[in-house]
């Protein structure tokens, strides 16, 4: 491509009444007269963190082979199409999550810090790794970070053995005393990504239900006249994705009248099925990364202590009580089914990232996602042998298809420190780290 001074700015927005739609990376955005800015050949790096509650059935999570993922464990089998982008790490621990509670499992996952034992508002934890990343790689984007979840956050006070509910509700902390609440409602996330104006103006936009894309129609037509055929195709495909996500949100909202009985763990106006809600939240993440609205995402797939049932896979019992299985084989089998179900839905995200172009590769090539739990064996409430994997290409900085099995317990903080470095954030240490994951650094 011939680069001219008329290159389109990377932060180009399609604007209309209450709408500001960011665009994916286009050939026309290659900056004029510069080799240092982000280009298709020099992509930005993204970091995502996903949390699953109450650990896993370790026996069916852990890959059977050391060093490689040539053979996947039963729980990880749904990731077979993406195993070349996946690395599983075994024998990682969170020492600071003890005394072994749901609250500390959640709070230590990204902080690796010890939560202050309190039931009041004098809570104290530590700055989480995602927020450290956001301060470095998130300052050039519309949103430095995006915090998402799946459940309502109406529980306050004391939630678990004297620990305030804030520890169980929030993955992200911008400081030891500042938790960042997540958003579980797809419409609110959509409006945050593509709406414009003050919070009050966005709220009014939210209530109108009209398509945001209809409001930027004239800007779309004007832009398409200025683009080459390849870029026009990219914009069309991207806007089709945005419209499809918005359509599914509208369908879910319309379904509220058909189902007047509320789900106590689910926000009103979201898809009735857990998987449909989850896929929408994954699709919103993909749109946010694709348009470079944010480069750092945290996502709580379900809250610690969740009593959600998974009838769609034949598990009618609530998740949390099942984890107190006491060695009951039937209950353990059902836990493993839930674990595998969560991983299968993770595979949906990886497929979306893999098939979404980004510069000279895909979003999966240029992203790093960490998936796991702050709890190991839920029956024991321990924090050793955590179910942890990382995925993505990290813009050439991450290689998959591996199983890294440590002989000795290794701080999860080591992995956090390593992923930060691969994202371009340099730190000597993080929390209780004792080094870095050398196997990942060797790339």
pTM over 0.85: yes
Tell me the domain boundaries of the chain.
1-42+187-269, 46-184+278-441
pLDDT tens-place values along the chain, 443 residues long: 333 345 778 778 888 777 888 888 888 887 543 444 455 556 788 999 999 999 999 999 999 998 899 999 999 999 999 999 999 999 999 999 999 899 999 999 999 999 999 998 999 999 999 999 999 999 889 999 999 999 976 655 557 778 999 999 999 999 999 999 999 999 999 999 998 766 666 566 656 656 778 888 888 888 888 888 889 998 999 999 999 999 999 888 886 555 554 454 556 678 989 999 999 999 999 999 999 999 999 999 999 999 999 999 999 999 999 999 999 999 999 999 999 999 999 999 999 999 999 988 999 999 999 999 999 999 999 999 999 999 999 988 899 999 999 999 999 999 999 999 999 999 999 999 999 998 887 66
Q: Which of these, 378, 370, 389, lies nearest to 304 by C-alpha position?
A: 378
The CA distance from 75 to 52, in Å, is 13
Q: What is the DSSP letter of 273?
A: S
Class of the 46-184+278-441 domain?
Answer: alpha beta
The CA distance from 122 to 100, in Å, is 21
- Please list the residues that pair with 160 across neighbouring strands: 163
Q: How far is CA 4 from the centre of its chain?
A: 37
Contact between residue 383 and residue 100 where contact means Cβ atoms under 8 Å apart: yes
The CA distance from 191 to 188, in Å, is 5
Q: What is the DSSP letter of 360?
A: T
């Amino acid at each position: 491509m011939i680069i001219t001074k008329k290159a389109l700015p990377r932060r180009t927005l399609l604007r209309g009444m209450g709408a500001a739609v960011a665009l994916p990376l286009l050939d026309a955005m290659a900056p004029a007269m510069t080799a240092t800015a982000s280009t298709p050949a020099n992509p930005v790096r993204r970091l995502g963190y996903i949390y699953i509650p109450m650990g896993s059935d370790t026996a069916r999570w852990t890959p059977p082979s050391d060093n490689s993922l040539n053979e996947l464990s039963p729980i990880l089998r749904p990731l077979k199409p993406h195993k070349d982008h996946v690395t599983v790490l075994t024998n990682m621990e969170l020492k600071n999550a003890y005394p072994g509670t749901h609250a500390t499992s959640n709070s230590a996952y990204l902080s690796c810090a010890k939560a202050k034992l309190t039931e009041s508002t004098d809570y104290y934890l530590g700055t989480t790794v995602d927020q450290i990343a956001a301060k470095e790689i998130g300052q050039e984007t519309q949103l430095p970070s995006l915090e998402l979840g799946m459940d309502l956050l109406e529980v306050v006070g004391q939630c678990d053995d004297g620990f305030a509910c804030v520890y169980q509700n929030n993955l992200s902390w911008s400081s030891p005393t500042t938790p960042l609440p997540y958003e579980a409602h797809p419409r609110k996330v959509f409006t945050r990504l593509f709406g414009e104006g003050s919070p009050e103006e966005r709220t009014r936009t939210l209530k109108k239900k009209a398509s945001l894309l209809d409001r930027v129609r004239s800007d779309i037509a004007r832009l398409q006249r200025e683009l080459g055929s390849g870029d026009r195709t990219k914009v069309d495909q991207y806007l089709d994705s945005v419209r499809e996500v918005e359509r599914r949100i509208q369908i879910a909202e319309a379904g509220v009248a058909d189902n007047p009985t509320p789900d106590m763990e689910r926000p009103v106006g979201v898809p009735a099925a857990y998987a449909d809600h989850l896929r929408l939240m994954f699709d919103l993440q993909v749109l946010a990364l694709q348009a470079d609205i944010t480069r750092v995402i945290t996502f709580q797939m379900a809250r610690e202590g969740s009593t959600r049932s998974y009838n769609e896979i034949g598990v009618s019992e609530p998740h949390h009580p099942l984890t107190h299985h006491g060695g009951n084989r039937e209950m353990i089998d059902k836990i493993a089914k839930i674990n595998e179900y969560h991983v299968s839905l993770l595979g949906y995200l990886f497929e979306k990232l893999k098939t979404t172009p980004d510069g000279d590769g895909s979003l999966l090539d240029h992203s790093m996602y960490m998936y796991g739990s702050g709890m190991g064996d839920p029956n024991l409430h321990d924090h050793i042998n955590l179910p942890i994997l990382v995925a993505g290409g990290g813009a050439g900085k991450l290689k998959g298809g591996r199983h890294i099995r440590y002989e000795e317990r290794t701080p999860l903080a080591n992995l956090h420190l390593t992923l930060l470095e691969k994202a371009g954030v340099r730190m000597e240490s993080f929390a209780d780290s004792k080094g870095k994951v050398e196997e990942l650094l060797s790339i």
